[in-house]
Structure 1
Amino acid sequence: MKKRYALLFSPTLVEQPIVSKLARSYDVDINILNADVASGRGGKLIVELSGTEQDLDASVIYLSEIGVIVSEMVKELLFNQDECIDCGACTAVCSSGALWMDAEARLQFDVSHCVVCGLCVHACPMCLFEVSHEREA
């Protein structure tokens, strides 16, 4: 089972080896999709955790108990590719690599790399991106 979470860290939590403890003690695989964390100021991680449902639940409980603010990401990005003019404006703001221009200058979108940051929604001059707040199960 895989789930995506936004993890918000206080400055004191940044100094702790939280990610390695999750992997060792809770038997979850961690894929860091996006990170904005710095010593002394805290920050935010967007992660995809993989493991059994019980291990994921235990991981979230651990994170909450130590003071990490955990939010499951239940949003997805919807893209109307049929109307896209392949201008590439969205690729300039996509740090996850979900959007790119191929060799024929056609826009490509890989939803598995999308971290649903929403920056492309504002960058697209054709308004072809939309953030959906409920993901299909």
Structure 2
Amino acid sequence: MKKRYALRFSPTLVELPLVGKLVRTYDVDINILNADVASGKGGKLIVELSGTEKAIGDSVQWLLGVGVTVSEMVKELIFEEAGCINCGSCTAVCFSKALSMDKDWHLAYDASLCVVCGLCVHACPMKLFALSTEKEA
């Protein structure tokens, strides 16, 4: 099973080995999709947790217990494809290659590659992208 979460934490939690603890103690694999973390300032991680339903649930409960705000990513990137003019502006900033131009020069979106970074939201001149909503755990 895989689930994506947004993890927000205070400056005091930045110094704790949260990811290592989850891997060792709860037997979950962690794929960090996006990170904005600074020592002394706190941060936010977008992660994908892989493991059994119980292991993921126990991991989330432990994170909540140490003071991490955990929000499940219930949607990822919202793309209003019908309004797209295939200009390709979004592809220039999409480092994960979730957005690309196909052989006919039409925009192709592969949600499985999206890391929810939000760069396309700002790059699109038509304002066709919006970031996901989160549901607090």
| TM-score after normalising by structure 1 | 0.80
CA separation in 1, counterparts of 2:46 and 2:17? 16
What letter is aligned with 1:50?
S
Residue 97 of structure 1: how far off its partner (Å):
3.5
Q: Indicate yes or no: 2:124 matched with 1:124.
A: yes
- Summarize the Cα distance change of 1:95–1:40 in structure 2 as closer, same or farther, 3 Å threshold: farther
Asked whether 1:60 is paired with 2:57, we answer no
Asked whether the equivalents of residues 34 and 116 of structure 2 are also in contact (C-alpha less than 8 Å), the reply is no
Deviation of residue 118 (structure 1)?
A: 4.5
Q: Distance in 1 between matches of 2:18 and 2:65?
A: 12
Offset, 1:115: 3.6
**What percent of counterpart residues are identical?**
70
Please name the residue that 1:50 is paired with: 50
Hey, what's the Cα distance between the residues in 1 that align with 2:32 and 2:133?
21
User: Does the Cα contact within 8 Å between 2:6 and 2:72 map onto a contact in 1?
Assistant: yes
Summarize the Cα distance change of 1:32–1:131 in structure 2 as closer, same or farther, 3 Å threshold. closer
CA distance in 2 between counterparts of 1:55 and 1:120 reads: 33
3-state SS of the aligned residue for 2:20?
helix
Report the equivalent of 1:38.
38
Once the two structures are TM-superposed, the CA of residue 89 in structure 1 deviates from its matched residue by: 1.9
Change (3 A) 1:130 1:12: closer
Q: Measure how far apart 1:88 and its partner are.
A: 1.6
- The aligned counterpart of 2:21 is 21
Q: CA deviation at 1:42?
A: 1.1
CA distance in 2 between counterparts of 1:42 and 1:132 reads 21
Matched residues in 2 for 1:49 and 1:4: separation?
6
Deviations 1:101-124 (A, max 9, x none): 456644231101224455534532
In structure 2, give the amino acid aligned to 1:36: D
Cα separation, 1, equivalents of 2:130 and 2:7: 23
Quote how far apart the aligned CAs of 1:41 are: 0.9
Structure 2 unaligned residues grouped into runs of 5+? none
Q: Distance in 2 between matches of 1:10 and 1:95?
A: 28
TM-score norm. by structure 2 comes to 0.80
